[in-house]
Amino acid sequence: DAPAPPELPIPTAPAKGQCEVVVYSAAHSGTVAGLSPERRDLLVRVWADRYRDLLAMPEVAFIMPFENRGEEIGVTLHHPHGQIYAFPFVPPAVVPLVEAFRAGPVLADLRERVGDAYDVAGNDRAVAFVPPCARFPSEVWIMPRAFHPGPWTFDDADVAAFAAVLGEVVARLDGLYGKPMPYLCILYAAPRGEEAHFHFHIQIYPFLRTADRLKYLAGCEQGAGMFLVDGLPEQMAARLREVAL
Tell whether 10 is covered by a domain. no
Q: What is the pLDDT of residues 8-48, one digit of tens each?
A: 888 877 888 999 999 999 988 889 999 999 999 999 999 99
Name the most confidently modeled range: 8-17, 73-82, 163-172, 214-223: 163-172
Predicted pLDDT of residue 14: 80
CB atoms within 10 A of CB 37: 11
Residue 1 domain-assigned (yes or no) = no
Phi, psi angles (nearest 5°) of residue 145: -65, -40
pLDDT, mean over the chain? 95
Residue 4 falls inside a structural domain: no
* CATH code for the domain in which residue 153 is found: 3.30.428.10
> For residue 125, which of 107, 148, 146 has the smallest C-alpha distance?
146
For the chain, the domain total comes to 1
Confidence grade of residue 230 (pLDDT, cut at 50, 70, 90): confident
88 lies in a domain? yes
pLDDT tens-digit map of 49-97:
999 999 999 999 999 999 999 999 889 888 999 999 999 999 999 999 9
Domain that holds residue 45: 18-212+222-241
What's the pTM value of the predicted model, to 2 decimals? 0.94
For residue 5, is it within any domain? no
Note whether residue 46 is domain-resident. Answer: yes
Classified as helix, coil or strand, 86 is: strand
For residue 193, the Cα-to-chain-centroid distance in whole angstroms is 21
Query: Which residues have CB under 8 Å from 216's CB, separation 6+?
Result: none
Residue 40 lies in a domain: yes
Give CA–CA dist 192/63, Å, rounded.
9
Q: Is 28 marked active-site?
A: no
Catalytic residue (choose from 28, 78, 79, 81): 81
Determine, yes or no, domain membership for 217. no
